[in-house]
Amino acid sequence: MNVQCQVLPLYTPSFERTNGAYLKDLDDVQSFLEGTWIGIINDKEYTFQFVKLPHHLISYGDVNYYEDILKVKFKVVDLVANQLIYSDLQVVDFDDYKINLSYYGNNIGYSFYYEDEMNCSNSAKFYIYRIDNNTDQIEYKNFIYDEYWDWDCSYTDQLDIPMFLPKVDLMLTRQ
């Protein structure tokens, strides 16, 4: 039996989402980033893997619908010491990804949200910008710390919580 569902644009407002609907990446906004991108700055190599998870079930209140989701995993290597500093590239389970696409806009780029539940739910935001007429490079920019749980946290200052994302802007190249 083939069941048809209502296909809606990815960024349909929540009040227009209906049970069984599918919020689909109709404009291939997520597909552009899908894959591996690498950038080097301050003697560190950053590898980002953007993973598109199509047709993921979302429950929002009493509405259940499907949505294309873009998640990110990354690793950091110290090039001077030739040492792995951080990696979550092994992540495969949906809930284990720490970076999610929050939203996208033609003039504002891709906004991402990072949260590390194991480290006081430390969170941050950053943007990815496409470069006109260049499909092999993107810009990682505007890193900013967001919230964290200061109660039940062994750190007294958010800046002491381990953060492996780059805090400076850098160019990433498609691999």
pLDDT, one tens digit per residue, over 89-126 is: 999 999 999 999 999 987 779 999 999 988 899 999 99
Under 8 Å between Cβ of 67 and 22: yes
Q: How confident is the model at residue 69 (pLDDT cuts 50, 70, 90)?
A: very high
Residues contacting residue 70 through CB under 8 Å, at least 6 positions apart: 30, 33, 34, 50, 51, 52, 53, 100, 101
The predicted pLDDT at position 1 comes to: 44
Give residue 21's Cα distance to chain centre.
23
Q: How confident is the model at residue 156 (pLDDT cuts 50, 70, 90)?
A: confident
106 or 43, higher pLDDT = 43
The predicted pLDDT at position 85 comes to: 98
